[in-house]
Chains A and B, each alone.
Chain A
Amino acid sequence: MSQPAYSVIGTRPIRHDGADKVTGRALYGADFQMAGLLHGFVLRSPHAHARIKSIDTSRAEAYPGVKAVVTAADLPESSDRMVDIGEGETPLSYVRGNVLARGKALYRGHAVAAVAAASLHVAEEAARLIEVEYEPLPCVLTAPEAMLPGAPLLHEDLHTHELGEKTSTASNVSEHFRHVMGDSEAGFAEAEVIVEREFSTSTVHQGYIEPQNATALWNNDGRVLVWCSTQGSFVVRDATACVLDIPVSRVKVTPMEIGGGFGGKIPVYLEPVAALLSKKTGRPVKIVMTRKDVLEGTGPTPGSFLRVKMGAKKDGRIVAAQAYLAFEAGAYPGAMVGPAGMCVFASYDIANQTIHGYDVVVNKPSTAAYRAPGAPNAAFATESVVDELAEKLGIDPIELRLMNAAKEGTRRADGPKYRRIGCVEVLEAMKNSEHYRSPLGGPNRGRGVAIGFWFNVGLPSSCTISINADGTANLVEGSTDIGGTRTSIAMQAAEVLGIPVDRVNPTVADTDSVGFTAVTGGSRVTFATGIAAYEAAQDVVRQMRERAAKLWSVDPDTVEVDRGQYKQNGHSMSFADLAARIGETGGPVVGRAAVNPKGVGGSFAGVVVDVEVDPETGKTTILRFTSVQDAGKAIHPAYVEGQMQGGSVQGIGWALNEEYWMSKDGAMMNSSLLDYRMPTSLDLPMIDTIIVEVPNPGHPFGVRGVGEANIVPPTPAIANAVSHATGVRMTRLPMNPPAVMAAIWSKG
């Protein structure tokens, strides 16, 4: 298929924020300074589950240098109100309860109180003088355990939502949903080969390099000013206003540079606490988490228990699939099992499916989104089962996937019918890759493949573009830039304006200075904010045509525009020349757009991986890793590759070593980057990338979001590779050396 020739789209310009980042001048939240700044320290629960009988802050308040102490008693009383905290609605009481524990501490690390002082050390020492009387309660740490009758209940008032109906059963199961398509029992009766297995995955953390931080000033005019690291400044504004029970217009959030988020920087933790401390002291208060706070007190991704059963005919056609998904939400409902239910069989066209999902609260930190949340867990199970089906059928694992691949028109069990998607193209690219066709070589080695899906989201974005007389454009948008999106958005505007991208100056603005823009999440920014920039640039072009028409005394509709050149019947002017004359043709030119695009395009990603397992230690070495992803259209291919490599690395960590190691009483024993083993550069090969481009018809340049799907296939691909290397099917994550050794021993 021929693609339009672009001037800017598809090139690899230097990022606009590059100079500040490489010279260390970029300002992150922890860098924030202000006259009179106080430092806050958050006291956290040492118990995984305990009733808070009393909190005595008097000794802390009397400690020299302490300016204020706050607890949940300083927050407004909670009601049943629902609030939107970025990717869906949540009861306000849960949001408030997670910010400062009220009545009960539900996990170790749950914030209980906070102290502000001129020195962080003083605040910390004073916090240790706060006397909290806890009544420790039995804790539950896994979904299967929490679902047992008689399990200790986290929330006495939590009643199961059973298949859409509110029940009166008090339980740790917040929700049970079911998706049914066709008749899976009939499908299995027809199947000639069936594989059914149980899987489990551990709680893992996003592992962003920059800890959460927030500075708040409750100003004398009643406005609350916040500077923080977030994926959504409007999310912080709205959530902070809700928690503090003040109008959103009273909160102004200025997003600082962000050192990674991956979904973990959508919830608010510190902002309302810093605001309360500021209200009491009249001074700005900054709180910065330690790594231990981050691991114990912010939202990781759910641990999960899964059972997947799939049946196929001897010719390879998959005729039936069932999934049972039980996900740990952590302390409050919302385990992202819904997305898991959407993605579990999303790569396949299977007529008969039944999917059950359970959202289960446990005494661990309240989980947050993590890059395609829920999908990697689900794919780990499905793609392992598909691999085993391929083995039993004697069919190449990519061929089997191609035979059953989802296509345009395929319906998912949760309802949607696919528009144009790139599942087949991704599989073809895997099959035709030099990697897949190369010999594996050597003993103790295995090759694994897997594919995965993420649906991506749209949501609102706003953008303005102001034209300068020197032919440049100031672009203001509200999407905090995590993956280089200032540039990928500026590139889309530059393409429309017909100017080089370095003539567009993008700024991520505070919540007073740009229209509402939803969270940087769901792989939406280059898609949705990209459309906002595209539309705003079209608005500029429309106005510029009017200016040209004015100069030439012609009808604006007769002015043609081609790559920044404005023409009419022998007249011709460049964008820059026209910009130089906007003063005399009517004054400022400002393009604007506010969009809520519906044409989101889901993305498929695949992995081919070679591993070698040391048969004496169980240690897995990744020898070669190829990530393939459908970008729709890669606006900035280097950033697309960066996303693919980043998702791959996180998937490798998830597969091999990362886990929350919990003591029986619910304490995380490895809450440091020494013991929470993310891969280092020495643990990784170069991650090779193959970008596939099946344009998304819902975006003017064909963009699909690329931030997330790439983390879905790595865990099963590695599991399949390790299984082939060892001869033992791996069904639990992480596949760390002791686990692999135990599997090898189990062969006898």
Chain B
Amino acid sequence: MHSFDYAAPDSVSAAVSLLAANPGARLLAGGTDLIVQMRAHRREPGLVVDAKRIPELSALTFDSGGGLTLGAAVACWRIYGDAQVRAVFPSLVEVASLIGGTAIQGRASIGGNLCNAAPSADATPLLIALGATCRVVGPAGERAIAAEDFCVAPGRNALADGELLVSIHIPAPRPGSGAHYLRFIPRNEMDIAVAGAGVSLTIADGVVTAARVALASVAPTPLLVPEAGQAIAGKPATEETFALAGEAAKAAAKPITDMRGTIEYRRHLCAVLTRRALTAAARQAQGVH
């Protein structure tokens, strides 16, 4: 590994100053992506800025309306270790439990997963499906970015020089709603999604009133598919309906052929996973276990 400088600021403003003054610097949360990339010479930052001493980035709080604000460096174990998160966002708990193994979950964060901007990120499609927004602070001040707009290319996010992700806000779930992320991997653990589907939906009187579908690993970025949600809104919450969303997801997917799967196979998986994920989310929405 190359030689680099390390800083551990204790405020957002100090971190912004460091990042702004050192183009090419990288923020370190859990390091489960960054350190691996540095060891493989895929990234060679001259300065690594540790985020873990900044209180806001390590805070996990619920607002009065039931929305969750997740500091960008909150490690996965804190998500599944939090009783309120388990009660309100079971899908988020599932995703936090899916990323890496126990040791990795002690370090890795949902914010880091988002910033790493891998098309295969497991958390991002769910964040998109849940309608999450990202709070970003930089030299020019603060702005909000929708989760679906945060990744712009493989390994590249929407942050400008000097900007950092402070937190992710997930709105309170609506009554009668459910969410689920389902990925396909050839093994049963320790794998990168060949394709993945993060979904949320709301059901009233057996009818889907709203749905959001986002896909992993089938486009340069995690991909929101509005057509999939539109295709089932107003229809009965049945497997046939969910299959329509699956077809819309399949049509929207733009995968490549690589060692994880062919274009044809991945598009096919989008239909299967979207249908299966919506079926699981519907069970949750309707209180069926």
Contacts and interface: CB of A to CB of B under 8 A. Distances in A.
Interface of A: 121, 124-125, 616-619, 656-657, 661, 669-670, 673-675, 677, 679-680, 682-683, 736-738, 741-742
A674 B272 contact: no
Contacts of B187: 657, 677, 679-680, 682-683
9 contacts: A121-B1, A125-B2, A657-B186, A669-B259, A675-B192, A680-B189, A737-B186, A738-B194, A738-B265
A682 B188 contact: yes
A414 to B, nearest CB: 37
Interface string B258-278: 110110010011001000000
Interface class of chain A by DSSP: loop
Contacts of B265: 618, 737-738, 741-742
Q: Which 9 A-B pairs have the closest CB atoms?
A: A661-B259, A682-B188, A738-B265, A682-B189, A616-B272, A738-B261, A669-B259, A683-B187, A657-B186
B191 A674 contact: yes
B190 A674 contact: yes
B192 A617 contact: no
B92 to A, nearest CB: 22
Interface string B1-43: 1110000000000000000000000000000000000000000
Contacts of B272: 616-617
B77 interface: no
A736 B186 contact: yes
Interface in B183-207: 184, 186-192, 194
A680 B190 contact: yes
Contacts of A680: 187-190
B194 A737 contact: yes
Contact of A741 (B3, B188, B190, B268): B268
B165 to A, nearest CB: 25
A738 B262 contact: yes
A657 B192 CA distance: 14
Given A125-B2, A737-B194, A675 B188 contact: no
A619 B186 contact: yes
Given A675-B192, A680-B188, A738-B262, 4 more contacts: A618-B265, A675-B259, A683-B187, A737-B184
Interface of B: 1-3, 184, 186-192, 194, 258-259, 261-262, 265, 268-269, 272
A737 B192 CA distance: 14
A121, A669, A673, A737 — most chain B CB neighbours (10 Å): A737
Nearest to A614: B272
Contacts of B189: 680, 682-683
A124 B3 CA distance: 11
B2 A677 contact: no
Contacts of A682: 187-189
A57 B104 CA distance: 39
B270 to A, nearest CB: 12
A670 B188 contact: no
Contacts of A670: 259
A610 to B, nearest CB: 17
A675 B262 CA distance: 16
Contacts of A738: 194, 261-262, 265
A465 B262 CA distance: 60
Contacts of B3: 121, 125
A677 B261 contact: no
Nearest to A676: B259
A683 B190 CA distance: 11
A742 B263 CA distance: 12
Contacts of B259: 661, 669-670, 675
A669 B190 CA distance: 17
A603 to B, nearest CB: 30
Nearest to B258: A669
B138 to A, nearest CB: 33
A683 B268 contact: no
B1 A677 contact: no
B269 A617 contact: yes
A421 B268 CA distance: 49
Contacts of A673: 190
B23 to A, nearest CB: 22
A728 to B, nearest CB: 16
A680 B269 CA distance: 23
